[in-house]
Amino acid sequence: EPEVTQTPSHQVTQMGQEVILRCVPISNHLYFYWYRQILGQKVEFLVSFYNNEISEKSEIFDDQFSVERPDGSNFTLKIRSTKLEDSAMYFCASSLRQAYSNTEAFFGQGTRLTVV
């Protein structure tokens, strides 16, 4: 069964460093998403991406964050200068079609980012 894969599973970084979280969505999917879950809190939407551009982003997704689909298979989330409060589980997801249709988003296993 096709699945969304994320690497690494766990990353530890020093405050102020740049990190890149990587995701390989399901191959025929067209819509891509990043969500995050701070420990013990709800899963929050960060950004959606379609046709090589951001289609929606939340207020969390500030100038520190960027997304890219560099080679037609990978989908990356970059945090330019990490802060302690960026420590969270980051989930990538993909879906075949947009909302209001019988479709669903498939999630990866997540990358746990720890900023020290």
Partner 1 sequence: GNSVTQMEGPVTLSEEAFLTINCTYTATGYPSLFWYVQYPGEGLQLLLKATKADDKGSNKGFEATYRKETTSFHLEKGSVQVSDSAVYFCALRGAQKLVFGQGTRLTINP
Binding site for partner 1 (CB under 8 A): 31, 33, 35, 41-45, 48, 50, 55-56, 89, 91, 93, 98-100, 102, 104-110
Cβ distance to partner 1 smaller for residue 47 or 79: 47
Nearest distance, CB of residue 64 and partner 1, angstroms? 20
Give the position of tokens 């096709």: 2
Cβ distance to partner 1 smaller for residue 56 or 68: 56
Rounded CA-CA distance 75/115 in Å is 22
Listed in sequence order, the residues at least 6 apart from 53 whose beta carbon sits closer than 8 Å to its beta carbon are: none
Nearest distance, CB of residue 19 and partner 1, angstroms? 18
Nearest distance, CB of residue 16 and partner 1, angstroms? 28
Burial 77-109 (b: 16+ CB within 10 A, else e): bebeebeeebbbbbbbbbbeeeeeeeeebbbbe
Cβ distance to partner 1 smaller for residue 35 or 79: 35
